[in-house]
Amino acid sequence: MDDTVTGQVVEYLLSEKPIDAKLRAKAIEHLTDGVAVMMAGSRSEATKKLIGYALTQTHDTTSTILGFLSKTSPEYAALINGASGHADDYDDTQLASSPDRVYGLLTHPTVPVLASALAAGEYVSCTGAELLEAYVAGFEVECKLAEAINPQHYLRGFHTTGTIGAFGAAAASAKLMRLNEEETRYALGITASLSSGIRANFGTMTKPLHAGRAAANGLTASILGKNGFTADRDGLDERWGFLKVLGDGYSPEKILGKLGNPHSLLSPGATIKMYPCGSLGQPSMDALLEVLQENDVNAQEIKEIKLRAGPNILEPLRYTAPTDYLQAKFSLQFGLASIALRRKAGLREYTTEFVTSPSTIEMMRRVKTMNDPEIAALGTDKMRSILEVELHNGKTFRRPADIARGTPEKPLAESDLRDKFRDCASFAYSQDEANNIYSKLKNIDKLSNINELNQLLTTHAQGN
């Protein structure tokens, strides 16, 4: 076995390992959720701007844009579908496997991989089984690299979905396009120079662009590598490799000998979100919902909501008075206010109209967040907070939070996943069409050609 990260990634991608029933079920669950959030994101202003841009750049009609009748080139389809999938911050989130990593902030693994795989798969007319295998491989490469790189990569401002997501995208497309060893090394080396994304752009259209750009960069790197476009053969390693330059190094024990052993999809797993916002606030939002439901509290009774947490939560969720739905996705004040007002915080709550409504603004003023050094001292391996709800009558409810619904510890029921899918699809498809797409996805490895799915995703799109 090669003792470099690049070498082991290449060996893993060139191997042919069967997907067992447990891995298949989990992969299809996350892949289906990925398509769902891409369909929902197709309505976003950012997606429509990217489509307008793409149509001025190419007349290629090879690849499907989810939720639209238009088609475009594989690279632009990857860009658009990747951005759509991250537009609502509703896509799955990688979990940390040890206390020294940042829980929930490693990467959003599915969207860059899936957007690249869908475009590449359509480009080569792959089977559904081949698409699923490539998705699993890309997800694994992305998650293991994100686990291995020094956490300073994220903490000092890189957005891992944009940077390391590109390697997952390259892995998936390289597998579908059957790159050989040398071509795969080139693809990884090219990706090392293309990947980027900084956290300063959270709360703007550029955050979902990170996921789209990651998908497109990975696919472009595979196409170039397939055509013999050269790059360093060990682009992840050594003094000037990606892991050293962008991460100040990595932990070998988290990746060497670990690719597919076990698969990150199974251990530690990933979160499928129940709210379209930053993952860090979701345990706290669940905790508030539980308090309100268990004690039959309505919004008018609430005097103040206090939330104590560490800087790992309070700093990224930095918008205390958001002015639009993009900022609201990184606002504890809005997330908790939405739960207080409507007992939900879904796609139809994360709108600028609701964010800026007088009732929402007034409720957000009742939400107070405080840095708690004791919570911070417990580490960043969980999204820890303590919620306090004070009522006008003097009653106070206190609840700790650290785990959200949709995590392996609190898995979602099939009905929850199906309901989320239908809600996401409703922006572009009828209920019958959404059900047909859902059925195809649940048996995707039975499709003789991925175009059986693409025809449903393209020709039946409405409203866009």
Q: Where are the domains of the chain?
A: 5-274+418-459, 279-401
- Which residue do the tokens 């891992």 mark? 160
Neighbours of 36 (CB within 10 A): 27
Helix axes 431-442, 21-41, angle to 10 degrees: 150
DSSP string, 424-453: HHTTTS-HHHHHHHHHHHHTGGG-SSTHHH
**Which of 451, 445, 452, 449 minimizes the C-alpha distance to 27?**
445
Q: Do residues 208 and 43 touch, judged by C-beta distance below 8 A?
A: no
What would the mean pLDDT of 289-318 be, rounded to a whole number?
96
Residue 80's pLDDT band, with cuts at 50, 70 and 90, is very high
Structure tokens at 106: 């490693």
Residue 461's pLDDT band, with cuts at 50, 70 and 90, is low
**Which tens digit of pLDDT belongs to each residue from 92-133?**
999 877 766 766 557 999 999 999 999 999 999 999 999 999
**Which tens digit of pLDDT belongs to each residue from 227-249?**
999 999 999 998 999 999 999 99
pTM for the structure as a whole: 0.92
Structure tokens at 117: 């795989």
Question: Is the pLDDT assigned to residue 1 strictly greater than 70?
Answer: yes
pLDDT of residue 155: 85
DSSP string, 293-314: HHHT--GGGEEEEEEEE-HHHH
CA 378 to CA 34: how far, in whole Å?
A: 32
Residue 382's pLDDT band, with cuts at 50, 70 and 90, is confident
**Which tens digit of pLDDT belongs to each residue from 346-379?**
999 999 999 999 999 999 999 999 999 999 998 8
pLDDT of residue 415: 94
Strands 302-309 and 93-94: unpaired
Q: How far is CA 290 from CA 307, 313, 346, 457, in A?
A: 15, 20, 16, 37
Helix (H) / strand (E) element for 145: namely helix 128-148
What would the mean pLDDT of 78-97 be, rounded to a whole number?
94
Q: What percent of the chain has pLDDT over 90?
A: 87
Question: Is the pLDDT assigned to residue 460 strictly greater than 70?
Answer: no
**Which of 420, 451, 345 minimizes the C-alpha distance to 36?**
420
Q: Is 146 exposed, middle or buried (0-12, 13-18, 19+ CB in 10 A)?
A: buried
- CATH superfamily assigned to domain 279-401: 2-methylcitrate dehydratase PrpD (3.30.1330.120)
CA 128 to CA 109: how far, in whole Å?
A: 20
Q: Quick one: fold of 5-274+418-459?
A: 2-methylcitrate dehydratase PrpD (1.10.4100)
**Which tens digit of pLDDT belongs to each residue from 25-46?**
999 999 999 999 999 999 999 9
Cross-strand partners of 306:
368, 388
How much is the mean pLDDT over the chain?
94
Question: Is the pLDDT assigned to residue 198 strictly greater than 60?
Answer: yes
Q: Do residues 86 and 208 touch, judged by C-beta distance below 8 A?
A: yes
